[in-house]
Structure formats: C-alpha cells, structure tokens
Amino acid sequence: MNLDWNALVAEMVATGEFHPAGLDALALERDYGEGRTVIRTEGSRIIAHASVEDRTSESQYPLYEIRRVYVAAGNGNGTAQEIIAELIKRFTPKEEELPGKNPTFFLISKNPALWHIASKLGFHVVTKFTMPNVREWAKRAGLGKRLPRSATARNPHHSKRRKRWLLMR
C-alpha cells in the first residue's frame, strides 16, 4: 500500500502548528524509510507521525530532537505519547551497548498537549536558569534561530502569549 505523504503534509500544514517550509513530503518519506520516523496508518492515510532528527555534535553525547509530531483529530487517546515513546526507545541503545550515558532528547513546542505528554515522558522545560549555557548548547545543536525566546528570556514565564518552550530529557 502506497502511503500518502502529500496528504500528511497538507494535514500538518492545515493545523497551523508547523512552518510549511519545513514540511516536504519527499523528505518525510525519506526520513521514514531511513528509520527516523514512527507513524500510524489507516489504509494509505498516515494518521500519526513523529520523527527524530540527529543533533549530535560530539559522538559521546548523542542528542536527538523529536520533531513533526502530528496526530489527526479523533485519533488521540495517547497516540502521540505512544509514538514519541517508541522513537525514544528506538534511539536509546540497549543497556549492554550503552557507553555509559543515555542519549539526550529534546523538543520545541508551543502546544500545551505536547508539553503535557512530554512531561509525562520525563522531559523538563529548559531555560537559561536551568541551563546557563543554553545559547551555546543550541548553537552546537545547530538550532540557530529556532531556540525559543523563552529559553533565554529574563522573565520566561511572564508573557501572556502562547510560547514555544524547549523541553529536554
């Protein structure tokens, strides 16, 4: 069965939660083919999607970003948590292969449901108060301008606007 990656991109864009420039059907399909993505399907339709982007800069400290988390309306009930947990498991080496340290996972989101899910999975909000070198860290991770302002703000909790937060575990 051919999966409809174009339809997935259209659905994700329609949520308004993703930058359309970062969503390309061929790229998503390639990530999936190369094992970086977990999906749920219904026939040819992809009803849930989450992928990992390798942000490792020093090989002894693997760093992965969870990206493009999407669950089609009506298919919730823990699906997002399930597929993120599956990705974390896939990218965490088994105990005996572990060189002494678990990989670090992070995600950036302005979606309260995702904050809730991430905190259930052991992620914590990161700001310069919890990680003084967050700016340098983001640079090494290749985040560029994607580092949320909340991570470096003097009063990160002070704005009424819905903010993007950096969460890490």
Ligand X SMILES: CC(C)(COP(=O)(O)OP(=O)(O)OC[C@H]1O[C@@H](n2cnc3c(N)ncnc32)[C@H](O)[C@@H]1OP(=O)(O)O)[C@@H](O)C(=O)NCCC(=O)NCCS
* Beta carbon of residue 80, minimum distance to ligand X (angstroms, whole number): 3
Rg over alpha carbons for the chain, rounded to the nearest Å, is 16
Task: Please identify, using beta-carbon distances, which residue of 10 and 113 lies nearer to ligand X.
Answer: 113
Closest separation in Å from C-beta 77 to ligand X:
5
CB of 35 to ligand X, least distance (A): 21
3-state secondary structure labels for all residues of 100-120 = CCCCEEEEEECCHHHHHHHHH
Q: 63 or 118: whose CB is closer to ligand X?
A: 118
Exposure on the CB side of residue 138, measured as CA atoms within 13 A: 21
DSSP at 60? T
Find residue 54's DSSP bridge partners. Answer: 64
Q: Minimum distance from CB of 134 to ligand X (Å)?
A: 19
**What is the SS3 assignment for 128-169?**
CCCCCCHHHHHHHCCCHHHCCHHHCCCCCCCCCCCCCEEEEC
- CB closer to ligand X, 117 vs 141: 117
Binding site residues, ligand X, CB under 6 A: 15, 17, 69-71, 76-80, 109, 111-114, 116-117
Least distance CB 25 / ligand X (angstroms)? 17
Residue nearest to ligand X (CB): 76
Which of residues 94 and 160 has its CB atom nearest to ligand X in the complex? 160
64: β partners: 54, 105
Query: Is 92 buried (19+), middle (13-18) or exposed (0-12) by CB count in 10 A?
Result: middle
Of the pair 80, 147, the CB lying nearest ligand X is at 80
